[in-house]
């Protein structure tokens, strides 16, 4: 007894082959972006209590700012807030060119955004959650960051800058 050969219409078979090629292409594109170009997806790092995150002395956001953890490597703790006024703390960060900065951003009140111009950093900042992303600043210059979520009357003045010195 021989196995019966299944009949597939050539039109249908060509579409199946085409879809399979597309799947392989998309998977390769994701692999190249992740491993070859080092593109990361912003991930929720940890949960925090938004009521105490800015005031608890054990919370790094009670004293937001830049910490050098190794030569050329920094952790930046940034608080995005709407109360008492719309702002980022700190509003300005200065690092030398070539620095690798890991941002840890959270909000004690409402939802904000965090987008650094001329980089691939663009993520949401949610109360109760820490958003983390690492950016390497190869070239000197001023990289403005802005809030990308409408967060109230002062949304338009919610911005800051990363100054990369030579
Ligand atoms: Cu905002």
Q: Write the secondary structure of 53-109 as one string of H (helix), E (strand) and C (coil).
A: CCCCCCCHHHCCEEEEEECCEEEEEEEEECCCCCEEECCEEEEECCEEEEEEEEECC
- State pLDDT tens for residues 61-70: 999 999 999 9
How would residue 111 be classed by pLDDT, with cut points 50, 70 and 90? very high
Q: Write the secondary structure of 24-45 as one string of H (helix), E (strand) and C (coil).
A: HHHHHHHHHHHHHCCCCCCEEE
Q: What is the pLDDT of residue 110?
A: 95
How would residue 2 be classed by pLDDT, with cut points 50, 70 and 90? low
Q: What is the pLDDT of residue 57?
A: 94
| Higher-pLDDT residue of 60, 6 | 60
Residues of the chain above pLDDT 90, percent: 86
Using a 10 angstrom Cβ sphere, with 0-12 exposed, 13-18 middle and 19 or more buried, the burial of residue 40 is middle
Flag whether pLDDT at 136 surpasses 80.
yes
Distance between Cα 35 and ligand 1 center (Å): 32
Distance between Cα 90 and ligand 1 center (Å): 14
- State pLDDT tens for residues 16-52: 999 999 999 999 999 998 888 877 777 778 899 999 9
Distance between Cα 82 and ligand 1 center (Å): 7
């Amino acid at each position: 007894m021989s196995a019966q050969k299944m009949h597939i219409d050539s039109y249908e078979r060509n579409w199946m082959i085409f879809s399979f090629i597309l799947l392989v292409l998309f998977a390769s594109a994701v692999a190249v972006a992740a491993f070859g170009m080092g593109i990361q997806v912003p991930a929720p790092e940890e949960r925090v209590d938004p009521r105490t995150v800015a005031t608890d002395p054990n919370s790094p956001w009670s004293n937001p700012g830049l910490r050098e953890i190794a030569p050329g490597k920094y952790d930046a703790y940034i608080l995005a807030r709407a109360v008492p006024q719309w702002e980022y703390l700190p509003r300005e960060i200065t690092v030398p060119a070539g620095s690798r900065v890991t941002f840890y951003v959270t909000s004690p009140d409402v939802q904000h955004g965090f987008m650094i111009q001329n980089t691939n950093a663009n993520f949401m900042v949610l109360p109760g959650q820490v958003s983390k992303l690492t950016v390497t600043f190869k070239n000197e210059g001023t990289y403005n960051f802005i809030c990308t979520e409408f967060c109230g009357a002062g949304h338009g003045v919610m911005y800051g800058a990363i100054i990369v010195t030579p």
